[in-house]
Amino acid sequence: MLKLITQQNRFDYRGVFTQPLFSLFGEGGKIVQGLYKSFSPYGVTLANIRNDSLSLSPSDQVLTVNFTTAAYYKFRFDGIESSVVNFTPQDLSDIPKLLSSGDNWLRSAAPDLSFQSHLFATFSHNRLSEGNSQDFLFNLFNVNAPNVGTSRGNGIIYHWDVPEYEWLVQLTIDHSVIVSGGLFIHFIVITAKDKIDYLETVQVGYKLFSEAMTQIGLEFE
């Protein structure tokens, strides 16, 4: 089993509303108050909330809650997003709590709210405990077009359905463009359900991710 020694990673979440939250248009104070009350238990103050709107267009209106310099939550009228750069196992425990807090506030503030989709994704750039990405990818999948040039091995994308949770799952393994000789790993979970259990999604999703990696012959250090 080859070990992946992570050099850089990121966790992303994107929730898309079925329709924009028209009931919150013009309610800037209510939105700021809701974000403040939802996230103040996690150390957020008014100074952590910022207006990142790019224009006066409703689709460009963004309020960002910065938990740290590497973690944020963004509110838009058509959806929400959250990201953590260089996340830790503790972050994977804390992120669902933050998302649940935001979800509870949104549903109380906008009774017409429903989600069209939820997307959870993680990617990482990793060194290998032995060998390099070219060696690994040649053994994993080797389809060549020799007239183009010298092959370095090809990346591969796996797709799965998980009916029990109504998920679509995707795993990408390829050369890293950041870590020389390293592997780029990208894992995505998508569901079209309205209401989800954020903690269960993260925990079960990461378990499936780990099982898939093990079957391919990889594990994180």
Q: 137 and 83, same structural domain?
A: no
Tell me the per-residue pLDDT of 187-202, one tens digit each, with 9 for 90 and over: 999 999 999 999 999 9
Assessment of whether the complete model's pTM goes beyond 0.85: yes
145 vs 142: CA distance, rounded Å:
10
Supply the pLDDT for residue 142. Answer: 61
Q: Are residues 156 and 187 in the same domain?
A: yes
Instruction: Supply the pLDDT for residue 135.
Output: 87
Domain that holds residue 9: 1-18+114-144+151-221
**Which residues, 6 or more positions from 213, have their beta carbon under 8 angstroms from its beta carbon?**
4, 185, 219, 220
Q: For residue 140, what pLDDT band results from cuts at 50, 70 and 90?
A: confident
**Shared-domain flag, residues 109 and 172:** no
Asked if residue 139 and residue 58 are part of one domain, the reply reads no
Q: Tell me, yes or no, whether 56 and 102 share the same domain.
A: yes
Instruction: Summarize pLDDT for 99-124 with one digit per residue, the tens.
Output: 999 999 999 999 999 999 999 999 99
Boundary residue ending a domain (65, 92, 113): 113
For the chain, the residue count is 221
Percent of the residues in the chain that have a pLDDT greater than 70, as a whole number: 94
Joined together, the tokens standing for residue 211 give: 């099982």
Asked if pLDDT for residue 145 goes beyond 80, the answer is no
Q: Determine the Cα–Cα distance for residues 122 and 78; give it in Å rounded to an integer.
A: 22
